Amino acid sequence: MSTLHFVTLAPFIMAIFVPIIYKKFRHLHTGWFILPLPLILFIYLFQYLPLDGSPMETVSYSVAWVPSLGINFTVYLDGLSLLFALLITGIGTLVVLYSIYYIANKKEEPLNNFYVYLMMFMGAMLGVVLSDNLIVLYVFWEITSLASSLLIAYWFHKEKSRYGAQKSMLITVTGGFSMLAGFTLMYLMTDTFSIRGIIAMADVIVTSPLFIPAMLLILLGAFTKSAQFPFHIWLPDAMEAPTPVSAYLHSATMVKAGIYLVARMTPVFGGQAEWFWIISTFGLFTLLWGSVSAVRQKDLKGILAFSTISQLGLIMSLLGLGSAGYHYEIIDGTSLPIVAVLAAVFHLINHATFKGSLFMVVGIIDHETGTRDIRKLGGLMTIMPITFTVSLIGIASMAGLPPFNGFLSKEMFFTGTLNSATLDVFNVGNFGVIFPVVAWIASVFTFIYCMIMLFKTFTGKHQPEKLDKAAHEAPIGLLISPIILASLVIVFGLFPNLLSYTIIEPVMQSIMPGLTAPGEQFYVNIYHWHGFNTELFMTMGVVFFGAFIFLNQKKWQDTTFYLRERDPLNWFYDNGLTGLINGSTVVNNVQMTGRLRDYFSYMFIFLIAIVSFMLWQSNALAVDFTNTTEIPSYMYFVSLSLILSTIVIPFVSKRISAIVLMGVVGFLVALLFVVFRAPDLALTQLLVETVMVVLFLLVFYHLPELRKETFKPVFRLSNLIISIGVGLVVTLTALSVHAYSYENPISPISDFFVENSYALAGGNNIVNVILVDFRGLDTLLEVLVLGIVALGVVVLIKFKARKGEDV
């Protein structure tokens, strides 16, 4: 196992030791023991950056997991995975440091749970971005959903926390299931789960009839995880999580997993019209919807939640627009649409810095004032000057103002949309003008909610009577992490080319491979002044109109639009969930009647329906007695005895007699197994029947009130119909199999077990080998079920009901 494997698994290993650390060192904050791990991982990964300007070398290591199915734990480090791994570990280090001061080391705070979940999430995210195998990626993908839900519900005594965790889990896991279906279709097209292998066969995939279904299913997984419209509704409710969780999961890492997946799959689907239109359209609409919704929020974390949705839509739209670059020739290392991909990569980095700092600042405000409601806040600029300074830097960057990094990527965003308006592929035509128009309108609303955040919180009249706490500046421990992130906002804004060939260019090579000759690099040169161009005038218009609308907010802050904070799409989720619950309740009441007869009826009706349908659908129904063996005379007697014993049972009025007759039927079946040369089955049948008969008789012996009980059999036509139906279907199936084996001479599966039982498993008893080796997992799970049942029986035996309780 390589060091990169250990990098992925290290957080999970740490999670195992967190409860022990928490118990042994209760006097120290558990976070201090966690902090070194993400820092060490970040330093290790940092060494892979091509700091000397040379092209980055990819690294790959593989460990066999299920090689027979092509599932191996292969870690692959290229520019794209390195960027995300650095964000995960770097932001993770700052979040852990921040959490030490944010979540106090109190008895009522289960810090062991918090850091176990956080380490689970960090390891899962590293697994997602470093995995080259789609199935391994999916496993880690779903662990992120699980860990995220647990973190959101950390304060599980709050109803809103539980609601947000449930919504997050349901939406993201549903998307994950669809993504798994898409991965399965990819495997059917390429016969490999390796991402690099799939990319190499992109030309095969685009010509396959499964191309569109696979693409749509994978995009569904990416859209749900990255909160794209209309699946974005889980993110605002996830803000009930502690602020360190919001800063980590919902600004820098988890919500960007879908961005990562789209970027990783661009070499496969990029350049196709469906990919271009779906991603760019949904991304731009998400950008607009999120920015408009953010303006209506009164809670600071609510504003940041919808702001995050908007920014994720921006990055997603850029990846979609830039995918058209496959249709253009590279000139001097760049092309017309590829600027959009460049902007997406740069803004992804910038967003992690300014949004992470802003989430932490909001947490500080909540921590030191007791509220996040902008209607109660105000005048904090002089009371919390350091917090105000950090906020000013982050908000200015998010608003796209110079000289901060957000201005640079926002200008590149405008460039990407303007370039896309002139595309002559995918029938863009006159529709292309929509791209820059939507981008500009969304940017106006972005500027408005940035001004609301800044001025409503830090300027105006201070209202101490509305605060739960006396406002004061935060301790230095809470300020370190946001100050570091705000410093990066300034550094990347003033010196953006520090990232050009260390991070951005290797990421571009990963997203758009093959667009440059081997050994050549993309041309990346980011700078502030481009002259008086369209992009600059668009920015000036954003500032002018945004400021005008903000200054006149009294004219619209009493409108229904502004007062309705909750996203209207939540109505569909809430009512849909209620409908599912009510529907399942109806089905449950019909099915779970508490009567064994009903349960068997449902199972047998389903058996009759599905087997009959398959026989009819596959045209497999056939009866052929020409190749049957002559029946010995004694078999007529055995069969007649079996039939008569079975028929008599429903008419017996004494339970003891019914038990004995059931035993007779079982022993006669065992005799049939002996005649047909199946001694193992015969022995098993004899043992089972003997034990069952003896147990039943013992039970009745010790229940004297039932020993002489008689009952009157009740005839039910439905029972007769179902019984005849089951017998008829099973008989016809057996006869059809017999007829088919002669009409279509193929090697039966039994030949495989005969030939391989000893060679592969070292056993001569074929039945035992099948149970222990070929179906070993089934047997293991059956043993597990029996073990659980045994534990349940022990618990019931030892359980002593208190007075008035019913067991």
- Is there a contact between 693 and 659 (Cβ–Cβ < 8 Å)? yes
Using alpha carbons, select from 343, 164, 369, 139 the residue that is nearest to residue 250: 164
Of the candidates 481, 503, 491, 486, the residue with the CA atom closest to the CA atom of residue 93: 481
In this predicted model, what pLDDT tens digit does every residue of 652-675 receive, in sequence order?
A: 877 778 888 888 898 998 988 888
Bridge partners of residue 71, in order along the sequence: 66
Helix/strand/coil for 263: helix
Q: What is the torsional sign of CA 617, 618, 624, 628?
A: negative
Q: Pick from 512, 523, 518, 515: which is nearest to 263 by CA?
A: 512
Residue 806: which pLDDT band, with cuts at 50, 70 and 90? very low
Q: Let me know how many helices (H) and strands (E) the chain has, helices first.
A: 33, 2
- pLDDT tens sequence across 238-264: 999 999 999 998 877 899 999 999 999
**Residue % of the chain over a pLDDT of 70:** 95
* Among 365, 457, 353, 343, CA closest to 398: 353
Is residue 584 very low, low, confident or very high in pLDDT (cuts 50, 70, 90)? very high
pLDDT at 807: 45
Joined together, the tokens standing for residue 167 give 């919504």
Q: Which two tokens stand for residue 48?
A: 């892979």
pLDDT at 744: 61
So what's the pLDDT on residue 15? 95
Residue from 155, 299, 286 nearest 228 by CA: 286
What pLDDT does 406 receive? 93
| Mean pLDDT confidence for 138-143 | 96
From 420, 480, 460, 419, select the one nearest 93 (Cα to Cα).
480
Position 271 scores a pLDDT of 84
Read off the DSSP letter of residue 503: I
In this structure, are residues 354 and 435 in contact, taking their beta carbons and an 8 Å threshold? no
Which of 254, 236, 491, 248 shows the shortest CA–CA distance to 350? 491
| pLDDT, tens only, 36-57 | 999 999 999 999 999 887 888 8
Distance, CA of 637 to CA of 618 (rounded, Å): 36
Report residue 699's pLDDT band, with 50, 70 and 90 as the boundaries. confident
Q: Residue 334's pLDDT is what? A: 52
Could you tell me whether strands 59-66 and 71-77 are parallel, antiparallel, or unpaired per DSSP bridges? antiparallel
The distance of Cα 153 from the centroid of its chain, to the nearest Å, equals 17
Residue 292: its pLDDT value, please? 94
In sequence order, what are the residues at sequence separation of 6 or more whose Cβ sits closer than 8 angstroms to the Cβ of residue 593?
599
Asked if 515 and 545 touch (Cβ cutoff 8 Å), the reply is no
Mean pLDDT, rounded, for 639-643: 88
Specify the range with the lowest mean pLDDT, choosing from 316-330, 674-688, 699-713: 699-713
Residue predicted with more confidence, 742 or 487: 487
| Identity of the amino acid at 439 | A
* Per-residue model confidence as pLDDT tens digits over 366-391: 999 999 999 999 999 999 999 999 99
H helix or E strand, kind and range, residue 63? strand 59-66
Q: How far apart (Å, rounded) are the C-alpha atoms in residues 36 and 360?
A: 20
Instruction: Please tell me the distance from the alpha carbon of residue 270 to that of residue 528, in angstroms, as a whole number.
Output: 30
Mean of pLDDT values over 459-485: 91
Do you find a cis peptide bond into 230, omega within 30 degrees of 0? Answer: yes
Check: CB of residue 276 under 8 Å from CB of residue 426.
yes
305 pLDDT more than 50: yes
**pTM score, whole prediction:** 0.85
Cα–Cα dist 82/443, whole Å: 30
Determine the average pLDDT of the residues in 709-727: 80
Range 546-556 average pLDDT: 89
Contact 489, 404 (CB under 8 A): yes
- The number of beta carbons lying within 10 Å of the beta carbon of residue 768 is 13
Q: CA separation (Å) from 501 to 43, 59, 72, 331?
A: 19, 18, 32, 18
User: What tokens were used for 359?
Assistant: 């989430």
Q: How far apart are CA 539 and CA 782, in angstroms?
A: 66
| Alpha carbons 368 and 147: distance in angstroms, whole number | 28
> How does 52-89 read in b/e, with b if 16+ C-beta sit within 10 Å?
eeeebebbebbeeeeeeebbbbbbbbbbbbbbbbbbbb
Cβ(628)–Cβ(734) below 8 Å = no
Residues 673-683, mean pLDDT to the nearest whole number = 84
Among 345-354, 566-575, 702-711, 726-735, the range scoring the smallest mean pLDDT is 702-711
Residue 77 Rama label (left phi>0; alpha psi -120 to 50; beta): beta
Stretch among 66-75, 95-104, 335-344, 516-525 having the lowest mean pLDDT: 516-525
As a whole number, the mean pLDDT across the chain is 89
What's the pLDDT at 333? 47
- Kindly report, residue by residue over 145-157, the tens digit of the pLDDT: 999 999 999 998 8
- Per-domain residue ranges for the chain? 273-567, 597-756, 757-807
